[in-house]
């Protein structure tokens, strides 16, 4: 096996391991988003769109630094999308011929896409999640592969459970396999598979023609130190040219476009004369490295700006705090610690790692509820699950700080919304049925059961100052269909900096669980307390 | 382990002082369907307590209470499969009193294993995320100290089995955890806590944690009647109520007022145990009679057990 393949497989295994470990509880030392931040497009792109320096995303600088000396090794060795593409290419190779002419003409598109992304970022709109290889890969494995595998595991277990119980293997018989469910998963799968299917046209089609992350690294790979070298033993058989997955080798078999070469070492391995080697060499840079005109770049940048401008003038685009209230969906609940909406959308790379990590599956990628620019951005879906107060994973795994990393104490005060009772749907309010599940489940004592005149059973009442917006009430409401108690975005705290605790205290919010019992805001009802009879 | 042995020795010394202990063994008829016949034959004329209230820290009190009922071997036969049903539905620490104290659960598990149980499963269908509940409640870790005992949160439908309830007044059918149905002994080990819909949540209300669909209890049926229906098929052979501290209000999820009681209540009669827990506790700042809790009253009326504390032989011991 080639050294490159070995390292690539190891990195891919590392990628999968990080993803798998990115679920509650994540070990203290682990940084599940580390690989994401290595993607220079993801890191620099979010910084550009958000106009912010994101210190931890500076990790991508390593990749660019490495490119100066080693070329596009990120693409050949580290990128998990590249690994997936290599794998699918090996399957698809039988169905295509590697035709150089067909694809060399398209090479410069990746630079144009990069220019377009820069153009849209100038207006603060980020489309990088359509192109960032790490975002694509993490999203696909998180929203599609992981749930599907769990589903299959659960299906097998469902059949075999009684068998395991019968032979006393309680561990397996009682194992809970809950496959998470995700919005947009079908699209995510289709988009990813479409990228892989490009391998029908040529190997590494995406990487050499379209990937703007590759383009960005290529710009730093004009003259790498470690490069291909051809000795005089070369007979000009052309085997290397035909087999080069990125079409980087020139027609004279000797020259190589460093900006395209991913140092996969394939030419070295297949050369029948052993004329090819990779070594440290100094030399002039590839003159005609980028086959592109300035005009094209400007056009692409302008097109990118145009897409951003159209997005910004869309009806549903959320412009910020001053948003006309009727147009912002009341049920748009962002994860705790999410930056103010515009910043949040600019920084969020839609990798879905937060959704993958969320222990209650409540974080879901959106379609267009938050405007076109909010596509795939995560929102809390309380009907599916509550935001667990003992968990702060979404902020911890976010590679760009779109969701701020908060310690548990601070996260407690990051109010994400406020619950509202829809009395006409509530069986206690409307049908006089004894049901106080929302009161029961509320971790913050924000809901109290009160005996009111004209109501034979106690009815739930919300104290909004205690409501954290966690959504457990909506989640557990036993009413069929839409819940009788719903969380709305009203009252959410979105701070780009500073302490949530201080802000919450300034607003008189009380999320301290301990104090709740002692100084409950409501007066004691007349008659016996809830559940007791006279 | 060394510490645990010490506790037991201590207990043995103390219990030796208790003159009536020997008289308490046996003599109770098999009250519930799941209870195996008493291991030691009752000697004629001896008075046996129906219910024990033990004081002390969690482990000592559990030990003393079980011993005063005749020892765990009265309930657990060698090779028996035991299921313990604690409260571990919430991802809260033990201090909140929304979940059974891990020491109580672990001590019960340990006693079962010592009595020869083949396996001890600690089971609940948690309201919140399983992992978090097992971890935060401390129950998983506490059980891990015992080989043969383990705690599981169970939510998957395929782990439950449909059961018909004959003579039901509301709940005619429900799905119950398979392991519970196949167990030789079910031990209810609830924490004593208030409950906004049923007044208190004790062993009877706790049985709802062993079914798949709780929703229908609240939505379609009279909650208290349905609980009693359920208890006709899910009848613990032994009930040990953790009243080391009680959640006096704000239950069942808390947070609420926690009152330290340093007591454990044990009885083969779960209605009696629940009734005692109601009456020794302070709820919402007041005291109540067991009959004021509807599901306890209904269970008494339907003959599932005896809530009339005054008519019971109650024993108080120090653990």
Question: Mind spelling out the 3-state secondary structure of A25-83?
Answer: CCCCCCCCCHHHHHCHHHHHHHHHHHCCCCHHHHHHHHHHHHHHHHCCHHHHHHCHHHH
Residue A25 and residue B135: Cβ atoms within 8 Å? yes
What is the Cα–Cα distance from B256 to A520, expressed in whole angstroms? 10
Q: Closest residue of A to B296, CA-based?
A: A532
Q: What is the pTM of this model?
A: 0.85
Tell me which long-range contacts A267-270 makes (C-beta under 8 A, separation of at least 24). A267/A228, A267/A240, A267/A243, A268/A228, A269/A2, A270/A239, A270/A240, A270/A243
What is the Cα–Cα distance from A110 to A95, expressed in whole angstroms? 25
Please check the confidence at residue B4 and state whether its pLDDT lies above 90.
no
Residue B156 and residue A514: Cβ atoms within 8 Å? no
Please check the confidence at residue A151 and state whether its pLDDT lies above 50.
yes
Q: Does A28 touch chain B (CB under 8 A)?
A: no
Q: What is the mean pLDDT of residues A305-314?
A: 95
Q: What is the mean pLDDT of residues A223-237?
A: 90
Q: What is the mean pLDDT of residues A206-210?
A: 95
CA A402 to chain centre: 11
Q: What is the mean pLDDT of residues B163-169?
A: 96
* The two three-digit tokens of residue A408, written as one number: 């548990």
C-beta separation of B187 from A520 below 8 A: no
Residue A532 and residue B293: Cβ atoms within 8 Å? yes
> pLDDT tens digit string along A345-366?
999 999 999 999 999 999 999 9
Residue A370 CA neighbour count, 13 Å, CB half: 25
> pLDDT tens digit string along A69-102?
999 999 999 999 999 999 999 999 877 765 555 6
Percentage, residues of chain A above pLDDT 90: 71
C-beta separation of A397 from A22 below 8 A: yes
Q: Does A527 touch chain B (CB under 8 A)?
A: no
Average pLDDT, chain A: 90
Let me know the angle formed at the C-alpha of A49 by A45 and A52, rounded to the nearest 5 degrees: 95
Residue A529 and residue B249: Cβ atoms within 8 Å? yes
CA A52 to chain centre: 19
* The two three-digit tokens of residue A169, written as one number: 């293997």
ipTM of the complex model: 0.73
C-beta separation of A308 from A48 below 8 A: no
Residues of A in Cβ contact (< 8 Å) with B179: 165, 170, 173-174
Phi/psi at A109 (5° precision): -60, -35
Q: Does A161 touch chain B (CB under 8 A)?
A: yes
* Whether the bond into A279 is cis, omega within 30 of 0: no
In the structure, what pLDDT confidence band is assigned to residue B118 with cuts at 50, 70 and 90? Answer: very high
* Whether the bond into B252 is cis, omega within 30 of 0: yes
More confident residue, B42 or A222: A222
Please check the confidence at residue A324 and state whether its pLDDT lies above 80.
no
Q: What is the mean pLDDT of residues B3-26?
A: 50
> pLDDT tens digit string along B33-69?
444 444 444 444 345 789 999 999 999 999 999 999 9
Phi/psi at B182 (5° precision): -90, -5
> pLDDT tens digit string along B198-239?
999 999 999 999 999 998 898 889 999 999 999 999 999 999
* The two three-digit tokens of residue A407, written as one number: 């310690």
Residue corresponding to tokens 């827990």: B277
**Closest Cα in chain B, distance from residue A158 (Å):** 6
Nearest CA to A463 out of A453, A450, A454, A477 is that of A450
Residue A467: the pLDDT is 96
- Biggest alpha carbon distance in chain B? 53
What is the Cα–Cα distance from A263 to A261, expressed in whole angstroms? 5
* Residue B260, strand partner residues: B245
What is the Cα–Cα distance from B96 to B87, expressed in whole angstroms? 12
Q: What is the mean pLDDT of residues B87-113?
A: 96
Q: How many CB pairs under 8 A join A and B?
A: 150
What is the Cα–Cα distance from A436 to A489, expressed in whole angstroms? 23
Please check the confidence at residue A140 and state whether its pLDDT lies above 70.
yes
* The two three-digit tokens of residue A69, written as one number: 């000396």
What is the Cα–Cα distance from A18 to A75, expressed in whole angstroms? 19
> pLDDT tens digit string along A328-350?
899 999 999 999 999 999 999 99
What is the Cα–Cα distance from A351 to A360, expressed in whole angstroms? 18
C-beta separation of A301 from A347 below 8 A: no
Residue A443: the pLDDT is 85
Q: Does A463 touch chain B (CB under 8 A)?
A: no
Give which of B89, B129, B161, B307 to mutate to test A binding, by max A Cβ within 10 Å.
B129
Residue B179 and residue A173: Cβ atoms within 8 Å? yes
Residues of B in Cβ contact (< 8 Å) with A437: 197, 218
CB environment B232-269: b (16+ within 10 A), e (fewer): bbbbbbbbbbbbbbbbbbbbbbbbbbbbebebbbbbbb
In the structure, what pLDDT confidence band is assigned to residue A161 with cuts at 50, 70 and 90? Answer: confident
Phi/psi at B54 (5° precision): -110, 135
Residue B199 and residue A162: Cβ atoms within 8 Å? no
C-beta separation of A268 from A277 below 8 A: yes
Q: Does A362 touch chain B (CB under 8 A)?
A: no
Phi-psi region of A447 (alpha: psi -120 to 50; beta: other; left: phi over 0): beta
C-beta separation of A16 from A141 below 8 A: yes
Q: What 3-state class would DSSP assign to A103?
A: helix
What is the Cα–Cα distance from B30 to B49, expressed in whole angstroms? 14
Residues of A in Cβ contact (< 8 Å) with B152: 170, 174, 176
């Amino acid at each position: 096996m080639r050294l490159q393949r070995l390292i690539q497989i190891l990195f891919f295994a590392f990628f999968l391991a990080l993803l798998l470990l990115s679920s509650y509880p994540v070990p203290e030392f682990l940084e599940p988003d580390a690989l994401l931040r290595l993607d220079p497009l993801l890191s620099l792109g979010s910084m550009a769109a958000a106009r912010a320096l994101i210190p931890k995303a500076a990790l991508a600088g390593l990749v660019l630094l490495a490119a100066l000396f080693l070329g596009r090794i990120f693409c050949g060795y580290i990128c998990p999308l590249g690994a997936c593409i290599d794998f699918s290419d090996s399957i698809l190779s039988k169905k295509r011929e590697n035709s150089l002419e067909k694809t060399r003409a398209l090479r410069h598109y990746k630079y144009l896409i990069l220019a377009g992304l820069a153009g849209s970022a100038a207006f603060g709109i980020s489309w990088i999640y359509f192109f960032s290889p790490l975002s694509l890969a993490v999203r696909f494995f998180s929203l599609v592969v992981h749930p599907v595998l769990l589903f299959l595991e659960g299906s097998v277990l469902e059949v075999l459970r009684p068998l395991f119980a019968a032979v006393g293997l309680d561990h397996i018989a009682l194992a809970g396999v809950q496959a998470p469910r995700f919005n947009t998963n079908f699209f995510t799968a289709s988009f990813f598979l479409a990228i892989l299917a490009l391998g029908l046209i040529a190997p590494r089609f995406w990487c050499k023609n379209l990937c703007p992350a590759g383009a960005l690294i290529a710009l730093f790979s004009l003259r790498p130190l470690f490069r291909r070298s051809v000795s005089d033993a070369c007979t000009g058989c052309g085997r290397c040219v035909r087999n080069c997955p990125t079409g980087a080798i020139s027609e004279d078999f000797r020259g190589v476009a460093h900006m395209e070469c991913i140092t996969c070492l394939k030419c070295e391995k297949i050369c029948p004369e052993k004329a090819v080697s990779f070594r440290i060499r100094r030399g002039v840079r590839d003159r005609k490295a980028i086959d592109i005109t300035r005009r094209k770049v400007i056009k692409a940048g302008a097109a990118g700006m145009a897409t951003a401008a159209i997005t910004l003038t869309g009806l549903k685009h959320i412009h910020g705090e001053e948003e006309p209230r009727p147009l912002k969906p009341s049920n748009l609940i962002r994860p705790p610690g999410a930056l103010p909406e515009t910043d949040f959308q600019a920084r969020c790379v839609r990798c879905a790692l937060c959704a993958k990590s969320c222990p209650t599956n409540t974080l879901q990628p959106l379609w267009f509820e938050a405007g076109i620019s909010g596509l795939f951005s995560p929102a809390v879906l309380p009907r599916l699950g509550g935001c667990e107060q003992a968990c702060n994973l979404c902020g911890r795994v976010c590679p760009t700080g779109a969701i701020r990393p908060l310690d548990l104490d601070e996260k407690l005060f990051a109010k994400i919304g406020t619950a509202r009772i829809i009395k006409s749907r509530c069986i206690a309010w409307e049908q006089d049925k004894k049901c106080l599940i929302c009161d029961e489940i509320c971790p913050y004592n924000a809901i109290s059961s009160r005996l009111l005149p004209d109501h034979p059973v106690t009815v739930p009442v919300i104290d909004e100052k205690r409501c954290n917006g966690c959504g457990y009430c909506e989640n557990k409401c036993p009413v069929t269909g839409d819940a009788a108690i719903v969380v709305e975005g009203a009252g959410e705290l979105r701070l780009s900096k500073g302490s949530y605790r201080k802000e919450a205290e300034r607003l008189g919010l009380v999320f301290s669980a301990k104090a709740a019992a002692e100084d409950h805001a409501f007066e004691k009802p007349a008659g016996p307390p809830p559940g007791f009879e006279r | 382990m060394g510490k645990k042995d010490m506790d037991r020795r201590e207990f043995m010394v103390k219990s030796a002082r208790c003159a009536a202990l020997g008289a308490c063994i046996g003599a109770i008829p098999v009250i519930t369907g799941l209870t195996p016949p008493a291991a030691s034959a009752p000697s004629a004329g001896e008075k046996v307590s129906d219910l024990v209230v033990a004081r002390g820290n969690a482990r000592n009190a559990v030990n003393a209470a079980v011993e005063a009922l005749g020892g765990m071997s009265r309930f657990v036969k060698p090779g028996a499969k035991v299921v313990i049903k604690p409260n571990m539905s919430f991802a809260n620490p033990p201090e909140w009193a929304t979940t059974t104290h891990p020491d109580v659960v672990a001590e019960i598990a340990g006693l079962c294993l010592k009595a020869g149980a083949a396996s001890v499963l600690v089971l609940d269908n948690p309201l919140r995320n399983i992992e978090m509940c097992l971890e935060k409640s401390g129950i998983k870790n506490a059980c891990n100290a015992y080989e043969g005992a383990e705690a599981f949160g169970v939510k998957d439908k395929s782990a439950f089995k449909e059961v018909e309830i004959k003579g039901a007044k509301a709940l005619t059918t429900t799905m119950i955890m398979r392991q519970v149905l196949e167990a030789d002994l079910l031990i209810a080990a609830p924490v004593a806590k208030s409950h906004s819909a049923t007044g208190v949540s004790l062993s009877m209300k706790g049985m709802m944690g062993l079914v798949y669909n709780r929703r229908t209890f609240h939505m379609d049926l009279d909650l208290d009647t349905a609980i009693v229906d359920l208890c006709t098929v899910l009848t613990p052979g032994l009930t040990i109520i953790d009243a080391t501290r009680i959640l006096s209000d704000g239950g069942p999820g808390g947070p609420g007022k926690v009152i330290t009681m340093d007591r454990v209540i044990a009885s083969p009669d779960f209605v009696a145990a629940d009734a005692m827990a109601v009456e020794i506790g302070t709820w919402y700042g007041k005291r109540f009679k067991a009959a004021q809790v509807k599901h306890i009253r209904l269970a008494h009326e339907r003959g599932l057990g005896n809530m009339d504390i005054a008519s019971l032989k109650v024993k108080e011991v120090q653990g």
